[in-house]
Structure 1
Amino acid sequence: MKILIMGSNGFIGHHLVRKFGLLGHEVVRADINKLADRECLVFNPHNPDFMSLFELVQPDVCVNCTGAASVPASFDDPLYDYTLNTVRVAQMLEAIRAKAPHSRYVHFSSAAVYGNPFSSPVSEVAALNPVSPYGWHKQYAEQLCREYHELHQLKTISLRVFSAYGPGLKKQIFWDVFQKALTNQNIELFGTGQETRDFVYVEDIASSIDVLLREGAFDGRAINVASGTASTISEAAHHLIGALGFHKDIKFSGTERLGDPTHWQADISYLSSLGFQPEFDLQLGLERVASWMKNL
């Protein structure tokens, strides 16, 4: 199977390239720069020519790992976030429709489309209530995937990924804790510490896509990708500090960050019904993250 990874040099894209390569698939890399990979196809970040790219590659599957991934930044520049997370998806779908209509399209959406869910664990049929520009733009992109399936018969699926983490991610909660721990005895974080997240390890995300490519329905639907387990921010931060071997005090400011949900836990019944089973609980995953951080 020929799999095109858009955003192959990013955090998730890099892991997918490795995963699908090990599984014996033909992996084609594409990103806005080559980095150290001479085989990576390059597209212009400001005016991407996706028509030529899909005409050239003719993939069996396209996994879109591109886009902006910062909720705070989406408040500062919502048009930029909309361009990367919605407009670029529309451009890719149109290129597939015109040049590679046989290709299946995997879109990375986000649990941010739920905002603060009205019930937990939250299922895919729950009402969407985004509380950030980022969440709204991911919802629009999901609608585009459904539109192109229903009106143009493209095979699409959207992944509502919850709190992704793993080696190589130099942002968000665990990177923030690590950076503060290097220079401070007291680590201060947003919130109360009792907010919950459904942390999903990056290799489990890769495994979920493998399962979907073998068993999933590419009918425009959106599905949850998560561990199915809720952990508090305080618990997660202390797990990481322990795995790093640090003796630090973690305090919480009580200040909420704009656009952050209070509680997240996913219902992963659909993904589980296809045979997906997370291999990494939070403790094991953070041990892997800590090992990577110690070698930086």
Structure 2
Amino acid sequence: MKILVTGGAGFIGSHIAEELVSHKQDVRILDNFSAGKLKNIRHFEKKVELLEGNISDKATVDDAVKGCNYIFHQAAMVSVEESIKNPVKTWDINIKGTLLVLGAASRMGVKRVVLASSAAVYGDTLALPKREDGALNPKSPYGESKHINEMNAEKYLKDFKLQTVCLRYFNVYGPRQDPDSPYSGVISKFVSAALRKERPIIYGDGEQTRDFVFVKDVVKANLLAMSEKKAAGQVFNIGTGTETSINSLWKEIKKQTKSKLVPIHKAPREGDIRRSFASIVKAGKVLKYRPEYSLEEGLKYTIEWIKENSS
């Protein structure tokens, strides 16, 4: 059985690829290394087939998909901020790239494609927790691109009988999330700031909330989505079901890093959502998904990794 991981040298993709390798699967990675890093896969690079190329190039995608039974589609431009600055690039990578993957998969007999979607599809809808059958109101080109990808996945299932599963990731964090990237997650930024003894930046009053989910739990959800027969054609929230404010997050990181720094507050960012946390009831029932890592535990592993990999 051959499995393709697009964006497989990236933060989440490299963890998925590594887990598949640990299960003795035949893994192919497609990555253009714009965000992914060779060091993320260095320790298992010789156990995978690595293709370097762009997800928005048809010939590259066709080559990557050929001979594969399953696909984990992680390649994307993931920054809300960058998508607002450059919506055309967002659509080219996220929408065109996904259509090329779905098209090649349907032509080449792939059994199932598991797609990375996002909680950004919900936007600032008032209903909490966010449920898969709730209203969608994406506030950024990034969120819009993920919503369109979900609709296209559904279309390929109905029209071409290609099994697809979409996973709406909430705020994923963990080792290999680059703290030096201007678009990295708030946790890696906060930890990096604390370790460098630099005051962290909080946008707005810090009472905005998120559902922070450890990357190992996200990997588990992906593997369950690949193997569970009843998952085909469905969309699932992947989070923890716990609402955490940015201020509370900093308090925990401050505690674990023994920092005494006081945050700098700046104006709220365009496209930011006020409150967000997942209902994971559906994922629990259908996928048997149960997050294993508490925020405290996940932060411990993340802080250790950033300490070891700080330049």
Q: Same fold (TM over 0.5)?
A: yes
Matched, 1:52 2:63: yes
Separation of aligned partners in 1, 2:99 and 2:111: 15
Where 1:289 maps in the other structure, the secondary structure is helix
Structure 2 residue aligned with 1:23 = 23
Matched, 1:105 2:118: no
Structure 1 residue aligned with 2:95 = 86
Q: How does 1:267-282 map to 2 (within 5 A)?
A: 267-273=279-285, 274-282=287-295
Matched, 1:62 2:71: yes
Deviations 1:84-111, CA, capped at 9 Å, x for gaps: 1111000111111222x24210110100
Letter in 2 for 1:53: A
Deviations 1:241-266, CA, capped at 9 Å, x for gaps: 2222322122433x211111111111
- Please list every run of 5 or more consecutive structure 2 residues that lacks an aligned counterpart in the other structure: 179-183
Structure 1 residue aligned with 2:141 = 133
Separation of aligned partners in 2, 1:139 and 1:217: 22
Structure 2 residue aligned with 1:213 = 226
Matched, 1:41 2:54: no
Separation of aligned partners in 1, 2:82 and 2:117: 17
The 1:183/1:19 distance shift into structure 2, 3 A limit, reads closer
* Structure 1 position 22, deviation (Å): 1.7
Letter in 2 for 1:74: S
* Structure 1 position 240, deviation (Å): 1.6
Separation of aligned partners in 2, 1:46 and 1:185: 38
The 1:269/1:216 distance shift into structure 2, 3 A limit, reads farther
The 1:154/1:45 distance shift into structure 2, 3 A limit, reads closer
Q: How does 1:277-296 map to 2 (within 5 A)?
A: 277-296=290-309
Structure 1 residue aligned with 2:169 = 161
Matched, 1:200 2:213: yes
Letter in 2 for 1:247: K
Matched, 1:96 2:108: no
* Structure 1 position 218, deviation (Å): 4.4
Matched, 1:177 2:190: yes
TM-score normalised by structure 1 residue count: 0.92
* 8 Å Cα contact 1:199-1:282 kept in structure 2: yes
- Please list every run of 5 or more consecutive structure 1 residues that lacks an aligned counterpart in the other structure: none
Structure 2 residue aligned with 1:10 = 10
Letter in 2 for 1:94: G
* 8 Å Cα contact 1:155-1:220 kept in structure 2: yes
* 8 Å Cα contact 2:139-2:271 kept in structure 1: yes
Aligned CA RMSD, in angstroms, stands at 1.8
Where 1:265 maps in the other structure, the secondary structure is coil
Match of 1:257 among 243, 266, 269: 269
* 8 Å Cα contact 1:51-1:98 kept in structure 2: no
* 8 Å Cα contact 1:244-1:291 kept in structure 2: no
Aligned residues: 292
Structure 2 residue aligned with 1:191 = 204
Of residues 211-220 and 68-77 in structure 1, the stretch that sits farther from structure 2 once superposed is 211-220
* 8 Å Cα contact 2:57-2:97 kept in structure 1: no
Letter in 2 for 1:168: R
